[in-house]
C-alpha cells in the first residue's frame, strides 16, 4: 500500500491561514549609540520642549505626520547642533529614528533606532538615509522627488521622509536661536 499525504494539505493550509502575523522588531541602535555616532565626544544636554497646539498643527500641516511630536526626546549639542528622536508609523507599526541637526539647521545624519515592520527594513540602510544629509527646513523633502523611493517599502519611505521634514520644521519653529 502506497502512502498518500494529500489529506495533509487541507490541514496545513488551515494552519497557515490561522497563524498570527508577527512583525519582527529590529533594534538597530540605542539612543546613546546614535548620539555617539552622530556627535562623537561632543557633550549633549537634554533640552525638553512643550509644543503648543498651534505648533503641533504647524508640524502636522508641514509633514502630514499625525502622531503628536514628543518634545522630551531632544538634546542640544555643545557645538550648537541638535539630536532629536522621533517616531512615525511605517505601514502598520512604529519606526523610531533619530535626526542629528548641525548648528546651521541642516541634517547631519539620520539613523533608524527601532523598526517594527516585518518588511521594508531597507529604509535603515545607510545608502538610503544619506539622502537626508545637508537638507534644511527649506527643502521640500518629497518622496520620489528629493528622496528616492524604495520598492516594497513605499509607506515606510514616505513616512520617514515626512518625519524628517517634521523634525526640521520643529527645529525652525522651536529650537533655532537657542
Query: How many CB atoms within 10 Å of residue 54?
Result: 9
C-alpha cell at 6: 494529500
Q: What is the pLDDT of residue 38?
A: 97
Q: How far apart are CA 48 and CA 72, in angstroms?
A: 4
Quickly count: other Cβ atoms within 10 Å of residue 159's Cβ: 23
Of 147, 143, 41, 38, the closest CA to residue 82 belongs to: 38
pLDDT of residue 18: 47
Question: What is the mean pLDDT, run by run of 10 residues, along the chain of 178 residues?
Answer: 58 49 77 97 96 95 92 97 96 94 98 92 95 95 93 93 96 93
pTM of the model: 0.85
pLDDT at 51: 95
Distance CA 133, CA 112 (A): 14
pLDDT at residue number 159: 94
Q: In the prediction, which pLDDT does 132 show?
A: 98
The domain ranges of the chain are 21-175
26 φ, ψ to 5°? -120, 120
| Nearest of 128, 127, 136 to residue 164 by alpha carbon | 136
Amino acid at each position: 500500500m502506497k502512502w498518500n499525504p494529500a489529506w495533509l494539505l487541507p490541514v496545513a493550509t488551515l494552519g497557515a491561514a490561522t497563524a498570527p502575523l508577527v512583525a519582527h522588531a529590529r533594534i538597530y541602535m540605542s539612543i546613546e549609540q546614535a548620539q555617539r555616532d552622530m556627535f562623537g565626544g561632543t557633550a549633549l544636554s537634554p533640552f525638553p520642549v512643550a509644543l503648543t497646539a498651534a505648533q503641533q498643527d504647524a508640524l502636522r500641516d508641514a509633514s502630514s505626520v499625525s502622531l503628536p511630536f514628543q518634545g522630551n526626546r531632544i538634546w542640544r549639542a555643545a557645538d550648537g547642533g541638535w539630536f532629536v528622536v522621533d517616531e512615525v508609523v511605517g505601514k502598520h507599526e512604529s519606526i523610531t529614528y533619530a535626526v542629528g541637526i548641525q548648528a546651521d539647521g541642516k541634517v547631519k545624519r539620520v539613523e533608524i533606532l527601532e523598526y517594527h515592520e516585518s518588511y521594508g527594513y531597507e529604509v535603515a540602510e545607510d545608502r538610503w538615509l544619506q539622502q537626508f544629509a545637508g537638507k534644511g527646513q527649506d527643502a521640500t523633502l518629497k518622496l520620489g522627488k528629493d528622496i528616492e523611493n524604495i520598492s516594497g517599502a513605499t509607506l515606510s519611505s514616505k513616512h520617514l521622509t515626512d518625519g524628517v521634514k517634521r523634525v526640521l520644521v520643529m527645529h525652525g519653529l522651536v529650537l533655532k536661536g537657542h
